[in-house]
Chains A and B, each alone.
Chain A
Amino acid sequence: MGNIVELKNIGMIYHSLNGEIIALENINLSVEEGEFVSIVGPSGCGKSTLLSLISGLLKPTFGEVLINGKEVNGTSNEVGYMLQKDHLFDWRTIYENVILGLEITGTLNAGTKEKVLKLLDTYGLYEFKDKYPSQLSGGMRQRAALIRTLATDPKILLLDEAFSALDYQTRLAVNEDIYSIIKKENKTAILVTHDIAESISMADRVVVLTKRPGTIKNIHEIKLTCKKRTPLCSREAPEFRHYFNQIWKELDVHV
């Protein structure tokens, strides 16, 4: 399997009236197809910026972003982005929300409509398709947001603290839920989080960033002895604590 995402010597500088902010510096990272990579780092270290660069929303100041070997130039259907909140539009029904991406990319047709309905059905939202977002629970809303992202059939999913708006119990359940969907749909995923446990429980590799300007401090290959790799099961693996402590130390959290 080849590298689906490649970041080569990425640097990113923001300009504002207060001066320049060097958000990212010298980032080199490759992600294999089907891999699940987590990125952790102190807040403001450039995690969201990194995802925006991969998605093509921003252009890097230095270096290049390659997807399937081609340089990224603007957003594409290859990449799906999940933001911190579900941002379901409350003036649209769940179905209308889920087809938003298809509408915008002009790919709404009988085939894609059917695919969306199938996704809704597979992931237990079919009977809610004509309801409005406020009528759904937090977990179901997050699932609807994922289906909205999957509808345009991206190969790569970017999740920017996608679960941090949920309460702890729901979050564990949604982790489990979203993880199994991503694996089942065979997607490559890059998850940004500030929750160390979450990052380990879901990922094949955890990338630790330094504080601003963000550089890669370390990359951990996560190898856990689990019968079947799921986030909940991962949390019970004997090696889990070991990874947790190491990443915790690297993040160098002071209060």
Chain B
Amino acid sequence: MFKINRKKVNDKQTALQEISPEHREFLRKVKLRKTIILSTQLLILILFFVVWEVAGDLKLIDAFITSQPSRMVKTLINLYNEGSLFYHIGITCLETVIGFTIGTVFGIVIAIILWWSSFLAKVIEPYLVVLNSLPKIALGPVFIVWIGAGPASIIVMALTVSLVVTILEVLNGFLSVDQEKIKLVKTFGANRLQILTKVVLPASFPTMISSLKINVGLSWVGVIVGEFLVSKGGLGYLIVYGGQVFQLDLVMASVLVLAIAAALMYQGVVYLEKLLVRDNSQK
């Protein structure tokens, strides 16, 4: 580990010695620009919260309705002291992860089946199109009646939201694999399974990862709506409960936590993508 790192640093240093002053100036400017962009972004965020806080203190806005950063923090601390903050965050995150994992896996498996049998794909196509345009949220009450008002319904909700999109996206990816690449393995006598494993799956790997990215977002929608309906625990429950008892501090604090959790999970998938998809076009 350390050795590799050291070597990289050395490479960079030798590279630095070779570059011209003009190029160094260019690099400096690029870096400067990056720093300015980042600090502006941070500034906007800080300004937003400061203005919100001050406006509340000066009674420019009604903090009872709009809440206030300091009140949100207080609410979070209270929740934490009660021991329920991470309970709710945990439930929601777990439901989301399970939902999008199952949605992605099932979606890919079904896409493989449909790729395998173009007859089945043709038969099912209109149904998929209708299901895709149906707002899956409408099925929420159905799931609750069938499966019960608990996490299982919420997970089913989340996976329903992402499943059809995954099937369509991934199948599309499979079908757009270069026919000449398939011809190539056919010249070696490849059977359908070999065409799938040697060409179609690896070639569509980036498509699958990008559908994973879309699914994370969709699963959050499914989970939060599910929690609205089931109302037993999780961030969605806190939001809906806070709204009902007119505790906007709780609502806003939960939304804030939700935003952070969703962003972190998305970054996690982006990181996973970096790990899995080798960037062979580099170097």
Contacts and interface: CB of A to CB of B under 8 A. Distances in A.
Contacts of B202: 89, 91
A196 B258 CA distance: 67
Contact of B187 (A55, A84, A103): A55
B180 A135 contact: no
A105 B283 contact: no
Contact of A104 (B180, B190, B205, B281): B190
Contacts of B46: none
Contacts of A79: 187
B130 to A, nearest CB: 26
A105 B185 CA distance: 10
Interface residues of B, number: 21
Nearest to A103: B198
A100 B178 CA distance: 17
A85 B198 contact: no
B7 interface: no
A91 B209 CA distance: 15
A81 B187 contact: yes
Interface string B83-120: 00000000000000000000000000000000000000
A38 B108 CA distance: 45
Nearest to B282: A134
B176 interface: no
Contacts of A34: none
A83 B180 contact: yes
Interface in A133-176: 133-135, 152
B281 A75 contact: no
A87 interface: yes
Q: How large is the interface on A (under 10, 10 to 19, 20 to 34, 35 or more residues)?
A: 20 to 34
Contacts of B185: 100, 104
B31 interface: no
A108 B168 CA distance: 36
A51 to B, nearest CB: 10
B14 to A, nearest CB: 21
Contacts of B194: 104
A238 interface: no
Given A90-B280, A91-B205, A74 B189 contact: yes
A87 B178 contact: yes
A93 B198 CA distance: 14
B278 interface: yes
A105 B280 contact: no
B256 interface: no
A85 B188 contact: no
A75 B187 contact: yes
B122 to A, nearest CB: 15
A76 interface: yes
A193 B281 CA distance: 30
A137 B156 CA distance: 50
Nearest to B194: A104
A166 to B, nearest CB: 16
Nearest to B206: A91
Given A87-B180, A132-B280, 14 more contacts: A75-B187, A81-B184, A83-B184, A84-B180, A89-B181, A91-B203, A91-B205, A91-B280, A101-B188, A104-B185, A104-B194, A132-B278, A133-B280, A134-B283
13 contacts: A57-B183, A57-B186, A57-B187, A74-B189, A75-B189, A83-B180, A83-B184, A87-B184, A89-B181, A89-B202, A91-B203, A100-B185, A100-B198
Interface of A: 55, 57, 74-77, 79-81, 83-85, 87, 89-91, 100-101, 103-105, 132-135, 152
Nearest 6 CB-CB pairings of A with B: A81-B187, A104-B188, A132-B280, A101-B188, A75-B189, A104-B190
